[in-house]
């Protein structure tokens, strides 16, 4: 694994290796066992989208691994003033040991990796959110013991979260049902990935999607970059909410995941959010552990 750009690029074995290393690093941290596996290395962190969990978890994680995180907003770089992505990649490759990018276009991350001689990690684009899905998979495995026989129900937009979650879930052997309003279709690359896969289903029926689900997931109705459509989406997604009726259709021991931030009383009710808050914030914590594992896999050599 040279870069982490999207989960489609990874094999089941590579995903499992990262999850296992995440477990190890989490155990070591909880037991005060130092693991400075990236001592002396620097991670350049490019943010063209704002963040809470991504920035804090990557900075803290790099510090715990013994390395140095370098925060760079678009305003801090010439890339924000028109320098080609390729030139920025070639320059930063001579200064840093790894790059993390949180931006809009997937093509920008792909181009950065093309011209970079150091590992590039996609910390979020409009197309993919691989780091979050590793945290979600780790949380599911912690609560359920394994992935075998599990069903994931995702209620909401066909966005970067849905794109990445369905790929991750199917690659580790889970079933995945996506409930979205009519007209919200999968990205062509994702549609090609799930074509003829018996473990994937997309429906407009929320209650049918949640039936016998082990994991129920949602995300905000309007992601960053979709603000202009917010009013339309507020209408389109009426009924696409995790609430008590939906959870009554899922298994009695089902868990709820949300990548945060959550808009209570929109995609999830306050009551359901608070009932599953421990799981959701374990999920948020796991961003730290999986990202450390990703960085070690990419940068330790």
Q: Which of 141, 214, 258, 259 is catalytic?
A: 259
Rounded Cα distance, 295 and 59, in Å: 11
Q: Which of 141, 258, 287, 289 is catalytic?
A: 287
Containing H/E element for 215? strand 215-218
How many C-beta atoms lie closer than 10 Å to residue 269's C-beta? 18
Q: Which of 219, 241, 258, 291 is catalytic?
A: 219
Cross-strand bridge partners of residue 175: 151
Q: Which of 123, 127, 124, 129 is nearest to 187 (CA)?
A: 127
Strands of the sheet with 42-47, listed across from one edge: 68-73, 42-47, 98-102, 120-124
Whether 264 has a binding-site annotation, put simply, is no
Q: Which of 55, 129, 141, 289 is catalytic?
A: 129
Q: Which of 3, 102, 141, 289 is catalytic?
A: 102
Helix 53-64 with 277-299: angle, nearest 10 deg: 50
Whether 153 has a binding-site annotation, put simply, is no
- Active-site residue flag, 102: yes
- Measured in whole angstroms, the distance separating CA 30 from the mean position of its chain's CA atoms is 23
Whether 223 has a binding-site annotation, put simply, is yes
The beta strands (E) that lie in 78-119 are given as 98-102
Whether 96 has a binding-site annotation, put simply, is no
Whether 78 has a binding-site annotation, put simply, is yes
Whether 52 has a binding-site annotation, put simply, is yes
Give the contacts of 276 (CB within 8 A, at least 6 positions apart).
Answer: 255, 256
How many C-beta atoms lie closer than 10 Å to residue 126's C-beta? 18
DSSP state of 198: T
Whether 224 has a binding-site annotation, put simply, is yes
- Active-site residue flag, 287: yes
- Active-site residue flag, 132: yes
- Active-site residue flag, 106: no
Q: Which of 48, 64, 106, 132 is catalytic?
A: 132
Whether 102 has a binding-site annotation, put simply, is yes
Q: Which amino acids are annotated as binding site, given as ranges?
A: 51-54, 78, 102, 129-132, 160, 219, 223-224, 259-260, 287
For the annotated catalytic residues, the residue numbers are 102, 129, 132, 219, 259, 287
Q: Which amino acids are annotated as binding site for carbamoyl phosphate, given as ranges?
A: 51-54, 78, 102, 129-132, 259-260, 287
Q: Which amino acids are annotated as binding site for L-ornithine, given as ranges?
A: 160, 219, 223-224
């Amino acid at each position: 694994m040279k870069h982490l750009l999207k989960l489609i690029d990874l094999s089941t074995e590579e995903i499992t290796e990262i999850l296992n290393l995440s477990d190890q690093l989490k155990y070591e941290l909880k037991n005060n066992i130092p693991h400075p596996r990236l001592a002396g290395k620097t991670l350049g962190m490019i943010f063209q989208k704002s963040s809470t969990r991504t920035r804090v978890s990557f900075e803290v994680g790099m510090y715990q691994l013994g390395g140095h995180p370098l925060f760079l907003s678009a305003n801090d770089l010439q890339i924000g003033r028109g320098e080609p992505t390729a030139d920025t990649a070639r320059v930063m490759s001579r200064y840093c040991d790894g790059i993390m990018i949180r931006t809009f276009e997937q093509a920008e991350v792909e181009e950065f990796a093309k011209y970079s001689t150091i590992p590039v990690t996609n910390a979020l684009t409009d197309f993919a959110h691989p780091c979050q899905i590793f945290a979600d998979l780790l949380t599911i495995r912690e609560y359920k013991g394994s992935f075998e026989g599990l069903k994931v129900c995702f209620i909401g937009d066909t966005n970067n979260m849905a794109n990445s979650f369905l790929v991750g879930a199917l690659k580790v052997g889970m079933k995945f049902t996506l409930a979205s309003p009519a007209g919200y279709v999968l990205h062509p690359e994702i549609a090609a990935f799930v074509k003829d896969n018996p473990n994937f289903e997309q429906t407009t029926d929320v209650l049918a999607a949640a039936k016998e689900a082990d994991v129920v997931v949602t995300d905000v109705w309007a992601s960053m970059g979709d603000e202009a459509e917010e009013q339309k989406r507020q209408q389109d997604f009426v009924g696409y909410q995790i609430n008590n009726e939906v959870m009554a259709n899922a298994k009695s021991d089902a868990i709820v995941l949300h990548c945060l931030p959550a808009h209570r009383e929109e995609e999830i009710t306050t009551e359901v959010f608070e009932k599953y808050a421990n799981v959701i914030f374990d999920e948020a914590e796991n961003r730290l552990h999986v990202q450390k594992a990703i960085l070690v896999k990419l940068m330790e050599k």
